[in-house]
């Protein structure tokens, strides 16, 4: 597996900062596995797109405000890292 396969451009404007007021009106991306065609709808219409035997994958992950910027004391270089997972009180997994 090549991690480059997972690299893509995602504009900040497409990342939700707060949940939508009416959750069933959230955007729904559809993939036709036979043709590879991508379509879009809203979540309340999901029953129109699934059939017996289909696999429905739900992502219930949550985003935390975890982007941290700083400056190295010795060089003045700007650094950025993302907090991924809290390991202990003051210890985080980061990238």
Residue ranges covered by each domain of the chain: 3-94
State the pLDDT at residue 21: 92
Tokens of 65: 């405000």
> Percent helix, strand and coil across the chain, each rounded to 5?
15, 30, 50
Q: Token pair 């959750």 is at which residue?
A: 23
Q: Which residues of 31-47 are buried (b: 16+ CB within 10 A; e: fewer)?
A: eeeeeeeeeeeeeeeee
Whole-prediction pTM: 0.51
Q: How many C-beta neighbours within 10 Å does residue 49 have? A: 13
SS3 65: coil
Tens of pLDDT, residue by residue, the chain (95 residues)? 787 888 888 888 888 878 889 999 999 999 988 999 999 999 999 999 999 998 888 888 776 768 889 999 999 999 998 888 889 988 998 88
């Amino acid at each position: 597996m090549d991690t480059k396969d997972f690299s893509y451009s995602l504009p900040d404007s497409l990342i939700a900062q707060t949940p939508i007021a009416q959750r069933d009106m959230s955007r729904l991306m559809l993939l036709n596995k036979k043709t590879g065609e991508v379509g879009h709808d809203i979540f309340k219409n999901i029953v129109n797109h699934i059939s017996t035997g289909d696999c429905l994958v739900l992502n219930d992950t949550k985003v935390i405000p975890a982007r941290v910027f700083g400056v190295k004391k010795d060089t003045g270089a700007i650094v950025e890292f993302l907090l991924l997972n809290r390991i202990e009180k003051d210890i985080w997994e980061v990238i």
